[in-house]
Amino acid sequence: MATQTRVVLTDDLNGGEAEGTVQFGLDGQGYEMELDAANSAALRASLRPYIDAGRRVAAIPAQRRRGTRSAPGRAAVPAARFATGQPLTDDERAKIREWAKTQPQLGKIADRGRLSATVIAEYRKVH
């Protein structure tokens, strides 16, 4: 006997069956919700004047919070930036990490996770 599982999305506004998940962002925070076709169209129509007048930027990555929030009015920690002023790419992070592992004065460098500002600054001094 075969088992068949059906996933039914529920519209977050009206409780009916949703067509799909809609993602959007505001003030650096990403959001998503399940909407039916009518609510999805209504959301897009209401945002259209702002989208048309705004400037397109790189997609805002979803941020996962660990149960803490920064104080009101305080900015989140900015992304580490390379010499170009742009956020570090995965390739740049890998280069910095490999270099840092050869520098005993920097201590142990993990294979994953955030690179400290000290490590990035030391790399920039040499390169």
Instruction: Confirm whether pTM is higher than 0.85.
Output: no
- Beta-carbon contacts of residue 33 (< 8 Å; ≥ 6 apart): 12, 13, 21, 22
Mean pLDDT of 4-29: 90
pLDDT at residue 80 in the model = 63
pLDDT at residue 7 in the model = 85
Tokens of 127: 């390169």
Instruction: Tell me the domain boundaries of the chain.
Output: 7-64, 90-126
Is residue 78 over pLDDT 60? no
Mean pLDDT of 55-76: 57
Query: Which of the 8 DSSP states describes residue 86?
Result: S
Distance (Å, rounded) from C-alpha 57 to C-alpha 44? 18
Mean pLDDT of 57-75: 55
Q: What percent of the chain clears pLDDT 70, i.e. is strictly above it?
A: 78
| Locus of tokens 């400290």 | 116
- Beta-carbon contacts of residue 58 (< 8 Å; ≥ 6 apart): none
CATH superfamily of 7-64: Lsr2, dimerisation domain (3.30.60.230)
Is residue 66 over pLDDT 70? no
